[in-house]
């Protein structure tokens, strides 16, 4: 076993348990940013493997990659990746309906009130779809165009983007970086976990009897939650009353052409399905409520909807939406699926890993046992998860579909936090972001309006423009969005020229 820690800092020996996306993201980031004296070991079991899904992200991932020094084109080549300008929600307000949650800004601010208030004053409510005419990312997405265009210093493009990628290739890329930076990988199945008298984790023991002691353990064991759940018995807050989908079927399909620079989230009678375009395949999945749809019906529905041939059999993943009440308990921090799961409707899981790592670095244990910091970590983590949970519920609640699954969703009482948020928006289009919550105003505004929640009025300060000034302003922002999209190459052309992944063997 390893020697006891020095007085330097109390997390000298970090043991990361699990080597999926969460484990390798943590390993790569800690190797880069934890104090130089930290020794990092990652234990993973090839026999157990990883969950093997997780292909769509949100823009924060760019910061994570930049902090690690990953070159964007190299990263996309290595992960079979493509660009993502947003998510297109289809059928959530009945068959044929659709709207985008595009990344980046809507219109431009005038320094007084957010853009959508001017749009509302200009009569936007009569033509909800016109909102996206003022969004460069939305215009580029629907035209199938993309390049990382910053715009001019005096007139930023307003584009923001994330990626679609193969999460197992991403983990492999991060593994190369982490191992090069000194992380020691151990292959083997953990058979038991030993605790100190105070309840903290002392060491883990592999099948062959090899023990690994640590000062700080990071549980990245996926749905199994070996440390935080099985060992430390931290309660799981189950949110299935609010988010009833409990299964997903996933299957890869042939590549589609052209490659859309956005994810598709298409509602069906008992949930929704995703379509995620990668360079050499399309990720497909069907998320459903097993009380309303059998596995066979779900498989049928998924395979019938594929565009091209399936590359293998659909895999069924069962889950309970929710999270561990505390993500950091004693000397164990849970990241990834071990910390909890929210369906991938807004592609938030990988982001939650990233923010968990950032927060851990923010509260990195020094020489004093960090009880007060642990409480702060847990409070901030809980707030982040709750805000995302509410955002997902909004998609289900504000629907106009006729099937029993959807009528039930409309009838379920909302959490007070979300009910208050919808009421505030319905009045005069106001939105308040709480603390460091993930999704900002443009995201909420798009989903509210996209799902048919239209404010009755607008912010009084939007009335300070004259009618002519308002017309000029609205046509300027519309022109800007159209011009940004028009000057970009097609997404396929940009990928082929700069980020083409090698053909699979």
Active site residues: 84
Closer residue to ligand FAD (CB): 136 or 214: 214
Among 11, 14, 27, 51, binds ligand FAD (CB under 6 A): 51
Smallest distance from the beta carbon of 275 to ligand FAD, in angstroms? 11
Among 147, 159, 228, 337, binds ligand FAD (CB under 6 A): 337
In whole angstroms, what is the distance from residue 477 CA to residue 104 CA? 14
Closer residue to ligand FAD (CB): 286 or 485: 286
- In terms of C-beta density within 10 A (0-12 exposed, 13-18 middle, 19 or more buried), how is residue 428 classed? middle
Smallest distance from the beta carbon of 22 to ligand FAD, in angstroms? 3
Give the 3-state secondary structure of residue 19.
coil
Smallest distance from the beta carbon of 166 to ligand FAD, in angstroms? 11
| Terminal Cα distance for the chain, rounded | 42
In whole angstroms, what is the distance from residue 405 CA to residue 400 CA? 11
Assess contact for 337 and 349: CB atoms under 8 A. yes
Q: How many residues make contact with ligand FAD (CB under 6 A)? A: 38
Site for ligand FAD in 240-299 (CB under 6 A): 248, 250, 285
Closer residue to ligand FAD (CB): 54 or 104: 54
Smallest distance from the beta carbon of 289 to ligand FAD, in angstroms? 14
Annotated binding residue 457: no
How far CA 423 is from CA of 137, 290, 417, in Å, comes to 28, 32, 10
Is 226 a binding residue for ligand FAD by CB under 6 A? The answer is yes
Annotated binding residue 61: no
Residue 236 CB: number of other CB atoms within 10 A? 16
Residues 137-176, one symbol each (x = binds ligand FAD by CB under 6 A, - = not), give: ------------------------------x---------
Among 12, 21, 82, 354, binds ligand FAD (CB under 6 A): 21
Among 79, 347, 355, 381, binds ligand FAD (CB under 6 A): 347
In whole angstroms, what is the distance from residue 137 CA to residue 491 CA? 12
Among 10, 18, 81, 356, binds ligand FAD (CB under 6 A): 18
Assess contact for 188 and 295: CB atoms under 8 A. no
> String of b and e for 112-140 (b: at least 16 CB within 10 Å)?
ebbbbbbbbbbebbeebeebbbbbbbbbb
Closer residue to ligand FAD (CB): 389 or 421: 389
Is 224 a binding residue for ligand FAD by CB under 6 A? The answer is yes
Is 336 a binding residue for ligand FAD by CB under 6 A? The answer is yes
In whole angstroms, what is the distance from residue 303 CA to residue 251 CA? 9
Is 332 a binding residue for ligand FAD by CB under 6 A? The answer is no
Assess contact for 215 and 310: CB atoms under 8 A. no
Is 340 a binding residue for ligand FAD by CB under 6 A? The answer is no
Among 222, 261, 277, 321, binds ligand FAD (CB under 6 A): 222
Closest CA to 14 of 215, 227, 226: 215
Assess contact for 141 and 261: CB atoms under 8 A. yes
Annotated binding residue 297: no
β-partners of residue 100 are 88
- Give the total residue count for the chain: 505
Site for ligand FAD in 181-220 (CB under 6 A): 189-190, 220
Is 20 a binding residue for ligand FAD by CB under 6 A? The answer is yes
Assess contact for 179 and 44: CB atoms under 8 A. no
Annotated binding residue 23: no
The DSSP symbol for 130 reads G
Annotated binding site for FAD: 19-22, 337, 350
Q: Which residues bind ligand FAD (CB under 6 A)?
A: 18-23, 43-45, 48-51, 53-57, 167, 189-190, 220-222, 224, 226, 248, 250, 285, 317, 319, 336-338, 344, 347, 349-350
């Amino acid at each position: 076993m390893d020697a006891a820690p020095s007085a330097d800092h109390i997390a000298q020996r970090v043991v990361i348990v699990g080597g999926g996306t969460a484990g390798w993201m943590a390993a790569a980031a800690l190797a880069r940013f934890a104090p130089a004296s930290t020794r990092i070991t990652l234990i993973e079991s090839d026999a157990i493997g990883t969950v093997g899904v997780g292909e769509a992200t949100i823009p924060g991932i760019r910061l994570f990659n930049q902090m690690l020094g990953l070159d964007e084109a190299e990263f996309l080549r290595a992960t079979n990746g493509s660009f993502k300008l947003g998510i297109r929600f289809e059928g959530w307000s009945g068959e044929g309906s659709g709207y985008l949650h595009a990344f980046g800004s809507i219109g431009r601010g005038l320094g007084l009130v957010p853009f959508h208030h001017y749009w509302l004053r200009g009569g936007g409510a009569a033509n909800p779809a016109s909102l996206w005419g003022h969004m460069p990312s939305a215009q580029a997405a629907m035209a199938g165009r993309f390049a990382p265009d910053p715009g001019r210093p005096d007139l930023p493009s307003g584009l923001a983007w994330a990626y679609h990628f193969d999460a197992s290739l991403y983990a492999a890329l991060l593994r190369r970086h982490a191992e090069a930076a000194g992380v020691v990988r151990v292959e083997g199945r953990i058979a038991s976990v030993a605790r100190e008298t105070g309840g903290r984790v002392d060491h883990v023991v592999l099948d062959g009897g090899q023990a690994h002691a640590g000062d700080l353990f990071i549980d990245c064991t996926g749905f199994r939650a070996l440390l935080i759940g099985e060992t430390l018995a931290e309660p799981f807050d189950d949110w299935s009353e609010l988010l009833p989908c409990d299964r997903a079927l996933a299957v890869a399909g042939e590549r589609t052409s052209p490659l859309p620079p956005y994810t598709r989230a298409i509602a069906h009678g008992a949930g929704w399905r995703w379509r995620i375009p990668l360079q050499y395949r399309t990720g497909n999945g069907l998320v459903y409520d097993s009380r309303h749809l059998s596995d066979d019906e779900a498989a049928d529905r998924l395979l019938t909807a594929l565009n091209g041939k399936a590359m293998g059999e659909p895999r069924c993943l069962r889950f309970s939406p929710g999270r561990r009440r505390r993500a950091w308990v004693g000397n164990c921090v849970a990241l990834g699926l071990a910390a909890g799961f929210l369906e991938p409707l807004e592609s938030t899981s990988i982001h939650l890993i990233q923010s968990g790592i950032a927060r851990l670095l923010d509260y990195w244990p020094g020489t004093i046992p960090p009880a007060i910091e642990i409480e702060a970590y847990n409070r901030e983590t809980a707030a982040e998860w709750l805000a995302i949970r509410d955002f997902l519920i909004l998609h289900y609640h504000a629907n106009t579909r006729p099937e029993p699954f959807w009528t039930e969703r409309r009838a379920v009482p909302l959490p007070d936090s979300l009910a208050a948020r919808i009421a505030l928006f319905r009045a005069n289009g106001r939105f308040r972001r709480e603390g460091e919550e993930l999704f900002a105003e443009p995201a909420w505004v798009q989903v509210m309006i996209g799902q048919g929640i239209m404010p009755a009025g607008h912010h009084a300060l939007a009335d300070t423009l004259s009618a002519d000034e308002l017309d000029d302003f609205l046509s300027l922002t519309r022109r800007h969005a159209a011009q940004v999209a028009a000057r970009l190459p097609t997404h396929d052309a940009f990928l082929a020229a700069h980020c083409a992944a090698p053909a699979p063997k």
